[in-house]
């Protein structure tokens, strides 16, 4: 049997409440880009709420708050709104104004939403955890040497 998703595993530092949503979005990527994008959108909102502690009336307002607090780079800020928009295509029947046909999420767009979640997890969860671990190890060494610990 072949795995349904070829994405790298979620870092162990990512809480299961977020990792589970990510894995679910990755698992359905090949089967349904629409479903994957909608699940990624929900995972994005959960990430903003759990990690940045921002809770507003809707995801658009939460993204604006995250950006206004300058917690993300400008390139990440641009991509955050893209994942919201792509997720909307997956969750709602949005029609092409010229043809009237419902617009689906393309596989590349759904993959982009997962890539963005990877970047968010790395910025807000994985890298801070690794940094804290390295600092803890250095402080243990400093203590053993009779030196002052770093704050």
Domain ranges for the chain, please list them. 16-144
* Ramachandran sector of residue 70 (left: φ over 0; alpha: ψ -120 to 50; beta: rest): left
Q: What is the pLDDT of residue 1?
A: 46
Residue 67: both structure tokens together:
């950006």
Give the pLDDT mean for 8-31. 93
CB atoms within 10 A of CB 103: 14
Residues 82-131: pLDDT tens digits?
777 777 776 666 666 667 666 778 889 899 999 999 999 999 999 999 99
Q: Which residues pair with 95 in a beta bridge?
A: 102
Q: Could you give the CA distance from residue 41 to residue 107 in angstroms, rounded to a whole number?
A: 15
Q: How confident is the model at residue 5 (pLDDT cuts 50, 70, 90)?
A: low
Query: What is the model's pTM?
Result: 0.82
The rounded Cα 34 to chain-centroid distance in angstroms is: 17
Place of tokens 């029947």: 93
Q: What is the pLDDT of residue 27?
A: 93
* Alpha-helix residue ranges (DSSP H) falling in the chain: 16-27, 33-51, 59-68, 74-91, 107-121, 127-144
Asked if residue 53 has pLDDT above 90, the reply is: yes
Q: What is the pLDDT of residue 60?
A: 87
Q: What is the pLDDT of residue 78?
A: 86
Nearest to 75 by CA among 33, 38, 123: 123
Topology, domain 16-144: 1.20.120
Q: What is the pLDDT of residue 149?
A: 95
């Amino acid at each position: 049997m072949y795995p349904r998703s070829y994405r790298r595993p979620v870092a162990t530092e990512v809480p299961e409440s977020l990792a589970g949503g990510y894995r679910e979005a990755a698992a359905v990527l090949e089967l349904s880009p629409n479903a994957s994008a909608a699940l990624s959108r929900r995972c994005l909102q959960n990430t903003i709420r759990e990690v940045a502690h921002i809770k507003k009336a809707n995801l658009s307002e939460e993204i604006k708050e995250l950006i206004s607090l300058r917690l993300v780079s400008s390139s990440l800020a641009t991509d955050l709104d893209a994942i919201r928009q792509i997720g909307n295509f997956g969750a709602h029947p949005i029609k092409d104004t010229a043809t009237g046909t419902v617009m689906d999420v393309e596989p590349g767009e759904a993959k982009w939403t997962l890539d963005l979640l990877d970047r968010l997890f790395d910025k807000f969860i994985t890298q801070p955890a690794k940094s804290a671990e390295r600092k803890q190890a250095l402080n243990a060494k400093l203590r053993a040497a009779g030196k002052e610990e770093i704050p």
